[in-house]
Amino acid sequence: MHSLGPEKLLSGAWHARTTPSRRILFSRTWLEILIPAVAAGILFALGAEIMAWVVIGITTTFFGIRLIRPDWGRKMEHGIGIFAEKVAALISWILLAPFFFVGLTLAKIGQRLSHRDPLLLRQTDLPSFWLPCDSEDRRRSFVRAMFCTERNRGGGLSLASLAFFLLILLATAEVGLRIYGFGDPLLYQQDPDIGFYFRPNQDVRYPGRTIQINRYGMRSPDFPEPKPADEYRILMLGDSTLAGTRVGNHEIYSSLFEAQLNRNSTGKKFRVLNAGVNAWGPLHMLAYVQKFGSFDSDLAMILGPVQDVFRPKYGLGRLSFSPSSGPPRLALEQLLFELVWRYREATLGRPDWNYGPNTDKQTLEGTEGYVQMGKVLQQAGAEVYYEFLPGSSATLGREQDPGSQELFGRMAARLRQDGFSAYLTGPIFAQEKHKNQIYYDGSHFGRLGHRLYAEHLYRQLRERVPAVRENLKDSSP
């Protein structure tokens, strides 16, 4: 009796190679297009746009190579087979190794201690389940009917072909990531006084939006100095809610607010300067105005979430922002940088800005930062306006935010001691029908949120700041 060795179980020895018909080739081609298209559609629907573009890019590249050089296409398929086999083996080891090395070992020890022998392996005088118990012909018939999943081992794959295949994958990933917006990130400048801010003079393009930074690191166009006599200038200071890097410059609420002021102006030209930076706190804002001044502003608006008060004046050390001192040259490099930072954050934990043993100390320092900022701006001749945002559940009118209210009460009381008034935004979006479009992540505004908040600020300033109201028409906003 001849045993079935591994060499006899390869698919090539059991299934004859035949040339597929045109119908089969046509069906296969459509499936190869349909499956990636469905996968990309699902990824887009789930919000995983990066992965969706990678799928589209890889599929397009493979089809292009197969059309131009069919022999390269076969080598690429062979390379994918090797890659899939190794990945499957690795996954199998990860999933099954604990079961085999721990579970079965414990079961074996338990059987040995209990003297159980369900397979009769220790009783040599009796037939075992492990002995051959069927004829060679029957075993051959069953093997012929098996679904062969091993890759085709014919042809071989040279080192040069494998290197070319990997180069194509990397190039496709680079192109796909650049389409999504990687490779030319928004850069941040480390500063010994401020901590950090947007690197001046940037023009960064992402899909669907452009981020323009002027010579002072603001999300605003450059402006004349000194200020023209017919201009009313407003300086906004804040964090990522003001920076609004998920929308274009013309879509952030500072730009929409400026446009609405000028539409209703009696002749005065309004100019709004956006000095908002992602992850800023009050001490960053204070250092910024101490370094650059008020830019001859008539009004300074200090905006942002109440919880910003917890943030100390840190630098870029624990932030996943691209520093201007060493910007990434490749999209893959930027992606790797962000993945490393996410792993580091998951390992080390997020900075304890709004909890932990230093909360009270940070609250006091942040509140004093707001007070000192107001004094610096006031001494420079600007009127100062404070308005803080509670959590999104409160602005959407879904539920109260007692934590933000209590914290704001403490901040407002301290500001009043130096003659400053502060306001806490209420449920301003409660009547909006499309509430799910106001915030894109529960904290930062989407396009609709920026528009609605700009309208809210227009109404508030018209009501609360006489110098603004006297330069506006009587018509409603």
Is 444 within 8 Å of 246 (Cβ atoms)? yes
Tokens 């001192």 label which residue? 325
d(CA 357, CA 399): 28
Amino acid at 162: L
CA terminus-to-terminus distance, the chain:
94
pTM, two decimals, is 0.69
Strand positions, DSSP E, 199-249: 202-206, 209-213, 231-238
Query: What pLDDT, on a 0 to 100 scale, did the predictor assign at position 23?
Result: 61
With residue 383 as reference, give the H or E element that holds it: strand 383-389
The phi and psi torsions of 173 (rounded to 5 degrees) equal -65, -40
Query: What pLDDT, on a 0 to 100 scale, did the predictor assign at position 327?
Result: 86
Query: What pLDDT, on a 0 to 100 scale, did the predictor assign at position 147?
Result: 47
d(CA 46, CA 393): 23
**Residues in CB range of 7: below 8 A, 6 or more apart:** 13
Query: What pLDDT, on a 0 to 100 scale, did the predictor assign at position 54?
Result: 76
Is 334 within 8 Å of 183 (Cβ atoms)? yes
Query: What pLDDT, on a 0 to 100 scale, did the predictor assign at position 458?
Result: 95
Average pLDDT by consecutive 10-residue portion of the chain (477 residues)?
Answer: 53 52 60 77 72 77 76 75 78 79 79 72 60 62 54 54 71 78 88 95 88 95 93 96 93 96 93 96 96 96 94 85 87 84 74 62 92 96 96 92 92 95 94 92 92 96 93 68
According to DSSP, the residues that pair with 231 across neighbouring strands are 269
